[in-house]
């Protein structure tokens, strides 16, 4: 009787593993389609995170992230940058200090699809800084 239970459990586990393989393959294909490191955090929000640098001599190691957001999500981000970053759990810990995020001016004002790229750095003390760039145009040089 014990042998039958063991075989049944083994067969069930194997069946569940085989049934989950298409889901894993679909996730992997989506990641490859997004370029590997890009994760879809929410509708219109993608994040690419850079792992912390490993160096025993450096005590303070910030986290880095790049967000790709639609124009609508960028408008939401501009209203409350800190709230946006914390809402979508961009960093391991919540950000306590993030003031306005300056944006580079685009060279070309019109775009078919307007995506923004927001570069962010987050220090262990939970302060963060960022800079936004238009995805459809190179930024204008400062005068």
Domain borders along the chain are 1-33, 35-134
Q: State pLDDT tens for residues 97-137.
A: 998 899 988 887 777 778 999 999 998 888 999 999 998 87
CB atoms within 10 A of CB 78: 15
More confident: 120 or 7: 120
By the 8 A CB rule, do 132 and 74 touch?
A: yes
Report the C-alpha gap between 127 and 97 in whole angstroms: 5
Q: Which two tokens stand for residue 58?
A: 């450096």
pTM above 0.75, yes or no: no
Report the C-alpha gap between 15 and 81 in whole angstroms: 46
What integer pLDDT is reported at residue 38 of this predicted model? 93
What value does the mean pLDDT take over residues 16-29?
51
What integer pLDDT is reported at residue 88 of this predicted model? 95
Q: State pLDDT tens for residues 38-96.
A: 999 999 999 999 888 888 887 888 999 999 999 999 999 999 999 999 999 999 899 99
């Amino acid at each position: 009787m014990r042998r039958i239970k063991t075989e049944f459990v083994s067969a069930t586990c194997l069946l569940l593993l085989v049934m989950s393989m298409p889901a894993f393959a679909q996730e992997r294909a989506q990641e490859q389609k997004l370029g590997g490191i890009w994760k879809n955090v929410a509708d219109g929000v993608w994040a690419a995170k850079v792992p912390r640098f490993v160096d025993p001599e450096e005590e303070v190691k910030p986290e880095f992230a790049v967000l790709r957001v639609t124009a609508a999500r960028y408008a939401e981000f501009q209203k409350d940058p800190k709230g946006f970053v914390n809402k979508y759990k961009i960093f391991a810990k919540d950000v306590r200090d993030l003031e306005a995020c300056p944006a580079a001016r685009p060279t070309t004002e019109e775009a078919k699809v307007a995506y923004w790229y927001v570069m962010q750095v987050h220090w262990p003390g939970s302060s963060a800084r960022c800079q936004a760039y238009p995805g459809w145009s190179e930024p204008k040089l400062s005068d």
